[in-house]
Amino acid sequence: MMKRKPQRQKTKVNPKRKNWRRQFRSLVTGKQKNWNKEKGREWGENADFWIKIIREKLDPFREIITNQAILESLKREKNLKIFDAGCGEGYLCRKLAKKGHRVFGIDFSKKLIEAARNLERKKPIGIKYFRGDFRKTNFPSSCFDVILSHQTINEIKNPEKALKEFFRVLKRKGKLVCLFLHPCFDSKKPNSLNYFQEKKIQKGYYLVSGIKSPWPYFYLHLSLSKWTELLIKSGFSISNIKEPHPPLKFFQKKWWKENFNRPRFILIEAEKTVPKKD
């Protein structure tokens, strides 16, 4: 008589877990798919919201923390040639141009770059805006003193490409300043797998001063060690790492205690170092 193979017992899968597995697989494997197309759509849909929150100064994180952190990084230098990579509607370009720097902004959102140009047309302060991809520019090699990437290096699927381009267009000893969401604290429920796994993080919407963005957004998560490895491999030496935050006295206020309950931003300053020829 043939022996019947013992049947494997079917284990019930918790539907929540199944869902989580599916989501996780798509985060990891689907990371490369349609990234640019989805980003284009995201910024097309969110452009008016973005212009409003910036021009009406509605984002306390920007007003109190990130603007100052970036300007602080450049406060000692004068008359710099600066490339704002992913300049959006141009607010940082304007701040820097008003301080006497020569500023060039690139963004691939048609609406945002148009909004930036419109202001420049109305009140010219010498900023040059281009619509394009900051990973592949037409700038000559070694022409910038500083490159800024404010909330943009994690907007792309392959930051190593951007870093290669930044390295090319920066002068020797030029400075790269990247400010983005702190990768160690971007999850409310941290776990190691989540942290060390490179992935695309999808969020429902931006919420600023009670106003929701009309479209969801996403960004790239890499562990802090991966970010530093990428910078170093691209030829940069890291000169400073800051965690911009409000003054400590702000934490006495309920709003800041609740909304800045973890380090939200990281700022990395790096220098283009070229090995000396023997």
Ligand X SMILES: C[S@@+](CC[C@H](N)C(=O)[O-])C[C@H]1O[C@@H](n2cnc3c(N)ncnc32)[C@H](O)[C@@H]1O
Q: Which residues are near ligand X by CB under 6 A?
A: 39, 43, 54, 86-88, 91, 106-109, 112, 133-135, 150-152, 155-156
Least distance between ligand X and beta carbon 156 (Å): 5
Write down the H helix ranges in 9-109: 15-29, 35-55, 60, 67-73, 91-98
Pick the closer one to ligand X by CB: 37 or 189. 37
CB 110 within 8 Å of CB 44 = yes
Least distance between ligand X and beta carbon 48 (Å): 13
Give which of 134, 135, 154 is closest to 87, Cα–Cα: 134
Residue number with the smallest Cβ distance to ligand X: 88
Give which of 179, 182, 177, 112 is closest to 151, Cα–Cα: 179
Pick the closer one to ligand X by CB: 161 or 171. 161
Pick the closer one to ligand X by CB: 13 or 63. 63
Please measure the distance between the N-terminal and C-terminal CA atoms of the chain and give it in whole angstroms. 82
Least distance between ligand X and beta carbon 62 (Å): 8
Pick the closer one to ligand X by CB: 209 or 237. 209
Q: Round to whole Å and give the CA distance between 205 and 217.
A: 6
Structure tokens belonging to residue 132: 């394009």
Residue type for position 33: K
Least distance between ligand X and beta carbon 179 (Å): 8
Least distance between ligand X and beta carbon 170 (Å): 17
Least distance between ligand X and beta carbon 145 (Å): 18
Least distance between ligand X and beta carbon 240 (Å): 20
Pick the closer one to ligand X by CB: 86 or 235. 86
Write down the H helix ranges in the chain: 15-29, 35-55, 60, 67-73, 91-98, 110-122, 159-169, 192-196, 224-233, 254-259
| Cβ neighbours, 10 Å, residue 162 | 24
| Cβ neighbours, 10 Å, residue 192 | 8
Pick the closer one to ligand X by CB: 88 or 183. 88
Pick the closer one to ligand X by CB: 116 or 231. 116
